[in-house]
Structure 1
Amino acid sequence: MADFNKDAQELLDAIGGKDNVNAVTHCATRMRFVLNDPSAADVDRIEDIESVKGTFTQAGQFQVIVGNRVGDFYNEFSAVSGVEGVSKDDVKKAGTQNMHWLQRLMAALAEIFTPLIPAIIIGGLILGFRNILEQVEFGMLGGQTIVETSQFWDGVNHFLWLPGEAIFHMLPVGITWSVTRKMGTTQILGIILGLTLVSGQLLNAYGVEDIIAGEVPTWNFGFFQMDMIGYQAQVIPAMMAAFLLVYLEKWLRRVIPEAIAMIFVPLFALIPTIFVSHAIIGPIGWQLSTWLSQGVQWGLTGTFNWVFGFIFGGLYAPLVITGLHHMTNAIDLSLVAEYEQTILWPMIALSNIAQGSAVVAIIWLHRGDEKEQAVSIPSMISAYLGVTEPAMFGINIKYVYPFVAGMIGSALAGMISVAMDVAAFNIGVGGLPGILSIIPEHYIGFLIAMAVAIVVPIALTILFEKRGILTKWENDHLPIPKLGQ
């Protein structure tokens, strides 16, 4: 750790000293600070420190990129500063002091969906693989699908629906659990609430024909009846029900004596929430979800859908910066629930590719800069695999023009994708592996859009630097200031 002593002391001074540190922790590659006065941090001085590979601010946290030895750096920083680290959750909580209400709302939404993303990605891969098995007709198989020619793969296809159904049809369980986890209430009650929304006793939400025909089972209370309809794969009804449970439980804990709270808080929180969820919240939430899906689908399939694709493709990367991109998870899942496919998600994968491609151009333009390559190469790989934050905050926003080049490339790719009606089965892995979630009949359209998302950002980034467009790049190759500085 001794080799980090000087750099740790320099970082402490540059961020405004010990008194300016509200909380600190670290992740896999970054020191994560919550500063009492973020403006006191001298970003230029920090980025000149030998061990530092870049900085950015996100979710109220000032983050310093160190690399794989961040654990050793963190220990040395704690030693020289006397500041004890806290958990990542504590840092997130402290970071809200530097966020306005919209950022807090988006951060809360992110914390609800983030724990679900690994399962959703796996589910997308499973559905993509199953559709290759059962929908793609291969010439070498005589124009038949794989399941039609192989009993083994037919069995695999049927078996994989077990986890596929658990992930997507039972998604409300994950949502209600995640909301209670985020809000600090009883998580098992959230799980039970979610299970009551997708119970096998209920008519499956996908039984549209039965609903239209009026063949819906009911709960008969004598003076009124209530339809027994499930909310499989529904996002908005599950979120609304979960928040009702959370706030009802919190209120009950304030008014019910502690001596009997263990019995009556769960009882009076859960049972009324389940009833209201099926009687009021569920139908309202389903209607809101339907309207949202129909509105987005109208934009994606209407006469000027290419305009929608151009705008969304271009603006998705800025949405990531603000945290608003987490809203697209709910929209995508609503589209899949309503239409069994999503035209929106492929554009997200293309945006990942575009930002990664802009970093490729920077790697080539700045070849030989080993310090920058320690950030640019891993961030490029990360972006191509669907995680763009390291690429955007570590490289593209730092220089501005590659970020803009990536936005333009993404806008053009999004326009092509929507114009060609490219659709995915569901959310999956972003970036280059995103093709695994694309409906096979749209492979060609996605590959064309992907080529645009690769070539255009690289070409524009090189052009912008060579012509001095959107950059203050000088002959001495000093990096331009960050946005907002």
Structure 2
Amino acid sequence: MSDNRRIAEEIIKAVGGKENISSIAHCATRLRIMVEDKENINQPAIEEIDKVKGAFYNSGQYQVILGTGTVNRIYEEVEKLGIEGMSKSDQSKEAAKNGNLLQRSIRSLGDVFVPIIPVLVATGLFMGLRGLVMQEQILALFGLTLADISDNFILFTQILTDTAFIFLPALVAWSAFRVFGGTPIIGLVLGLMLVSPSLPNAWGAAVGDVEPINFFGFIPVVGYQGSVLPAFIAGIIGAKLERQIRKRVPEALDLIVTPFLTLLVMSFLSLFIIGPLFKSVEEYILQGTLFVLGLPLGLGGLLIGFFHQIIVITGVHQIFNLLEIQLLDKFGNNPFNAIITAAIAAQGGAALAVGVKTKSKKLKALALPSSLSAFLGITEPAIFGVNLRYGKPFLMGLIGGAVGGFTASLLGLKATGMAITVIPGTLLYLNGQILPYLLVNMIAIGVAFTLTWLFGYSDKEKKM
């Protein structure tokens, strides 16, 4: 029997057996198990299973942290044992019945944005690479200057870096329709209507190059390039409207009537009501974010760096995706990324200190890979498997994140993209910021490691 097969069997047994599992899914790092009765879960047994880096129950799902790559293999073995699988989206809908209103709302926001993030990551990398190749020092290595760069090359780089944000409402509306039970292609077309070239360009209107169209004499309408909330709200309402229309339309007419009425009603609501209203809300959110980031003497970075990982463990951190998208769209850069990178790196530094200091082979085997995972941008194994379990390392990681975030603010670091941090995140700072970025990471890791080593962990206090 393979190790992964044995681990799958042990997990099933520890969560109460097949009869206690209603469905199972997985994300990048965790098995997400919906159980019939959480009282039947044997938490100590789960934590003793090889490759398990931690487990916790949150909003209707029992989440077993296994790490990237490993989780896919264990999930395959679980399915082979006859456990019914479910897509993460479907399971999220089921789990959405649990938790408070804020948790459910943020979880829905996350479900919409997660499929979009890879293209935004790619866009950020393109921005970073463009910043790298356009540096005078880099061009000089090839005997070139900025004057030698052709207009066609500049145009090509703009296609790479601008497309995702120009059509962002289409991506958001498509994903929202998918999550909330509508037909995704209808959502895609609705989102494209929001950025139709027939409308005044949003960025042109913002700088005064074009004037909004005044409908009915008092509703100013522009395109919604780069906007998120209007498309998100339109996607939710549109998906629910489509489902209601479909229930009432005869099957023979469904193909014609349902998409026609959905797009007719939603195009009117989106352009004339939802768009103007939530564009204003979006602007208030952006201004609030800028206020915190702009607090004097690095205070904004210190606060965000300290509290970020606390927010992560509450499960409502998906709201940050919206903030980062707004920053990138408005300014072409993202100061938030460097600060949260420090918070993530610091948790890795704390877990690393535990792994180096402990004499326990099992804890060492858990803590060291968990710290590497954090340095690659995924902190769940370090947080839930090590730092929170022993308490003090998590606190030392928060302090390290605060110091690192403080430094990032003082240095004025601004990423070219989002969603990747620490080691992979270096690609977002190739535009002349790589050295200060590395310095911020080393400070965050160093502070968290040192404090954890001196005050945060001792084998005399707790053993695995």
8 A contact 1:423–1:439 mirrored in 2: no
Q: SS at the partner of 1:57? A: strand
Indicate how the Cα distance of structure 1 residues 15 and 123 shifts in structure 2: closer, same or farther if over 3 A, else same. Answer: same
The Cα of 1:146 is off from its aligned counterpart by 6.1
Indicate how the Cα distance of structure 1 residues 380 and 218 shifts in structure 2: closer, same or farther if over 3 A, else same. Answer: same
8 A contact 2:328–2:416 mirrored in 1: yes
Q: SS at the partner of 2:136? A: coil
Letter in 2 for 1:474: K
The Cα of 1:291 is off from its aligned counterpart by 1.6
Q: Partners of 1:315 and 1:437 in 2: how far apart?
A: 23
Indicate how the Cα distance of structure 1 residues 101 and 140 shifts in structure 2: closer, same or farther if over 3 A, else same. Answer: closer
Q: Partners of 2:34 and 2:99 in 1: how far apart?
A: 11
Give the structure 1 partner of residue 165 of structure 2.
168
Give the structure 1 partner of residue 228 of structure 2.
235
The Cα of 1:355 is off from its aligned counterpart by 1.7
Give the structure 1 partner of residue 336 of structure 2.
344
Letter in 2 for 1:148: L
The Cα of 1:326 is off from its aligned counterpart by 0.9
Letter in 1 for 2:187: G
Q: Deviations over 1:37-89 (max 9, x none)?
A: 22331211232345655433345322335676767766776787x64444444
TM-score (normalised: structure 2)? 0.87
Give the structure 2 partner of residue 457 of structure 1.
448
Q: Partners of 2:264 and 2:338 in 1: how far apart?
A: 40
Structure 1, gaps ≥5 residues long: 480-485
Q: Deviations over 1:415-454 (max 9, x none)?
A: 2222333222332521133233248465554343222112
Give the structure 1 partner of residue 186 of structure 2.
189
Q: Which of 391, 396, 401 is matched with 2:392 structurally?
A: 401
Please say if 1:262 is aligned against 2:255: yes
Q: Which of 274, 286, 304 is matched with 1:281 structurally?
A: 274
The Cα of 1:459 is off from its aligned counterpart by 0.7
Instruction: Please tell me the root mean square deviation across aligned C-alpha atoms, in Å.
Output: 3.3
Q: Deviations over 1:227-279 (max 9, x none)?
A: 55211111112212222312322232233333323222211111221122222
Indicate how the Cα distance of structure 1 residues 158 and 379 shifts in structure 2: closer, same or farther if over 3 A, else same. Answer: farther
8 A contact 1:253–1:265 mirrored in 2: yes
**Structure 1 stretch displaced more, 175-184 or 164-173:** 164-173
**Structure 1 stretch displaced more, 164-173 or 114-123:** 164-173
Give the structure 2 partner of residue 311 of structure 1.
303
Letter in 2 for 1:137: E
Q: How does 1:288-327 map to 2 (within 5 A)?
A: 288-303=281-296, 306-327=298-319
Letter in 1 for 2:188: I
Indicate how the Cα distance of structure 1 residues 225 and 300 shifts in structure 2: closer, same or farther if over 3 A, else same. Answer: closer
Please say if 1:102 is aligned against 2:114: no
Indicate how the Cα distance of structure 1 residues 164 and 71 shifts in structure 2: closer, same or farther if over 3 A, else same. Answer: closer
Give the structure 2 partner of residue 216 of structure 1.
211
Q: SS at the partner of 2:292? A: helix
Q: Partners of 2:30 and 2:238 in 1: how far apart?
A: 36
8 A contact 1:125–1:437 mirrored in 2: yes
8 A contact 1:249–1:265 mirrored in 2: yes
Q: Partners of 2:272 and 2:4 in 1: how far apart?
A: 61
The Cα of 1:299 is off from its aligned counterpart by 2.1
8 A contact 1:125–1:429 mirrored in 2: no
8 A contact 2:355–2:365 mirrored in 1: no
Q: SS at the partner of 2:303? A: helix
8 A contact 1:31–1:64 mirrored in 2: yes
Letter in 1 for 2:327: L
8 A contact 2:136–2:146 mirrored in 1: no
Indicate how the Cα distance of structure 1 residues 86 and 341 shifts in structure 2: closer, same or farther if over 3 A, else same. Answer: closer
Q: Partners of 1:358 and 1:42 in 2: how far apart?
A: 27
Q: SS at the partner of 1:231? A: coil
**Structure 1 stretch displaced more, 102-111 or 395-404:** 395-404
8 A contact 2:139–2:145 mirrored in 1: no
Indicate how the Cα distance of structure 1 residues 4 and 444 shifts in structure 2: closer, same or farther if over 3 A, else same. Answer: closer
Q: How does 1:34-45 map to 2 (within 5 A)?
A: 34-45=34-45
Give the structure 2 partner of residue 198 of structure 1.
195
Q: Higher RCO, 1 or 2 (CA under 8 Å, sep at least 6)?
A: 2
Structure 2, gaps ≥5 residues long: none
Q: SS at the partner of 2:111? A: helix
Indicate how the Cα distance of structure 1 residues 39 and 255 shifts in structure 2: closer, same or farther if over 3 A, else same. Answer: same
Give the structure 2 partner of residue 362 of structure 1.
354
Q: Partners of 2:194 and 2:145 in 1: how far apart?
A: 33
The Cα of 1:398 is off from its aligned counterpart by 2.4
The Cα of 1:295 is off from its aligned counterpart by 1.8
8 A contact 2:22–2:84 mirrored in 1: no
Please say if 1:419 is aligned against 2:400: no
Letter in 2 for 1:110: G
Please say if 1:138 is aligned against 2:137: yes
Aligned length, in residue pairs:
463
Q: Which of 380, 390, 401 is matched with 1:389 structurally?
A: 380
Q: SS at the partner of 1:138? A: helix
Letter in 2 for 1:216: E
The Cα of 1:316 is off from its aligned counterpart by 0.7
Indicate how the Cα distance of structure 1 residues 49 and 131 shifts in structure 2: closer, same or farther if over 3 A, else same. Answer: closer
Letter in 2 for 1:201: S
The Cα of 1:13 is off from its aligned counterpart by 4.4
The Cα of 1:225 is off from its aligned counterpart by 7.6
Q: Partners of 1:157 and 1:45 in 2: how far apart?
A: 58
Q: Partners of 2:66 and 2:417 in 1: how far apart?
A: 35
Q: Which of 237, 247, 253 is matched with 2:246 structurally?
A: 253
Q: SS at the partner of 1:478? A: coil
8 A contact 1:59–1:92 mirrored in 2: no
Letter in 1 for 2:105: L
Q: Partners of 1:415 and 1:346 in 2: how far apart?
A: 10
Q: Deviations over 1:346-382 (max 9, x none)?
A: 212222211222222222123672x445544443333
8 A contact 2:127–2:161 mirrored in 1: yes
8 A contact 2:352–2:371 mirrored in 1: yes
Q: SS at the partner of 1:424? A: coil
The Cα of 1:400 is off from its aligned counterpart by 2.3
Letter in 1 for 2:377: G
